[in-house]
Structure 1
Amino acid sequence: MIIRYALFEGEVRDGQTEAFREAVTTELLPLWKQFPGASAVRLSFSESRDDGAPEFPLILAVSYPSQEAMQGALASPIRMESRRVTESVVARFFDGRIHHHVTMASDHAL
């Protein structure tokens, strides 16, 4: 399984945490769920971190069955729309940068 992470590194503006989370959930999540070939979308909103650790108010994880499926999603019109909406949400609530990491994942039951 391929997981593409979008790490929102930085800070949500003071007093805007709930509004940021609401905008991500209502404006962006519906778009991300439409990415062709995606098998799962996970939003992780930060609750705490180690002293001195960088701040990641949001980590988005989108799972794909293959690299080809991920590439198809990245080239899709819905991704272009999600980028436009992401820029709007970021401009309203977030100071920082977004970077992406692609991983090969495997699950191991306990």
Structure 2
Amino acid sequence: MIIRSAVLEGHVAPGDQEAFDHSMRTHVLPAIRSYPRLRDVRLRKLAVPEAGAPDVYMIFDLYFDSLADMDAALASETRQVVRKAIAENMAAFQGRVYHLVFNEDT
């Protein structure tokens, strides 16, 4: 199993968090779910940070059966639609977004 994690490292102003989180759940997650060959997507929001840990606000985990499936999804036309949906909903987020790809042995 391949997991591509999109890490949102930064913050959302306290007054904007509820609307931002709702937007991620109701607009961005459904857009991501449209990726071809995607097995699952999960959204995780930090509950309790460890002292000295990076300022991670939330993580999207995209699950694929293989690197080839992930690459096909990222090369698809669907990705451009998804990227647009993400961009339209990120105004309240201050920080950086980066990706990590994990190989999960089950």
Q: TM-score, normalised by structure 1?
A: 0.90
- Structure 1 equivalent of residue 84 of structure 2: 84
Q: SS in structure 2 opposite 1:90?
A: coil
Quote how far apart the aligned CAs of 1:51 are. Answer: 2.0
1:31 alignment partner, SS class: helix
Quick check: 1:99 aligned with 2:102?
A: no
Structure 2: any 5+ residue segments left out of the alignment? none
SS in structure 2 of the partner of residue 106 of structure 1:
coil
Counterpart in 2 of 1:8?
Answer: 8
Residue of structure 1 in register with 2:24 after alignment: 24
Aligned-partner SS, 1:63: strand
| Alignment deviations for residues 5-38 of structure 1 (CA, whole Å, 9 cap, x no partner) | 0000000123111111100011111111111001
User: What is the alpha-carbon root mean square deviation over aligned residues?
Assistant: 1.0
Is the CA contact (8 Å cut-off) linking 2:3 and 2:101 kept in structure 1? yes
TM-score by length of 2: 0.94
User: What is aligned with 1:51?
Assistant: 51
Task: Using the TM superposition, give the Cα deviation of residue 70 of structure 1 relative to its aligned residue in structure 2, in angstroms.
Answer: 0.3
CA distance in 2, matches of 1:47, 1:16: 17
Which residue type is aligned with residue 15 of structure 2? G
Q: Which has the higher strand share?
A: 2
- The letter for the 2-side match of 1:57 is Y
Amino acid of the structure 1 residue aligned with 2:50: D
Q: Distance in 1 between matches of 2:19 and 2:51?
A: 25
Residue of structure 1 equivalent to 2:33: 33
The superposition leaves residues 27-68 of structure 1 with CA deviations (integer Å, 9 ceiling, x where unpaired) of 111111111001110100112201222221110100100111
Residue 86 of structure 1 deviates from its aligned partner by 1.2
Aligned length: 106
Secondary structure of residue in 1 paired with 2:50: coil
The percent of aligned pairs where both chains have the same amino acid is 35
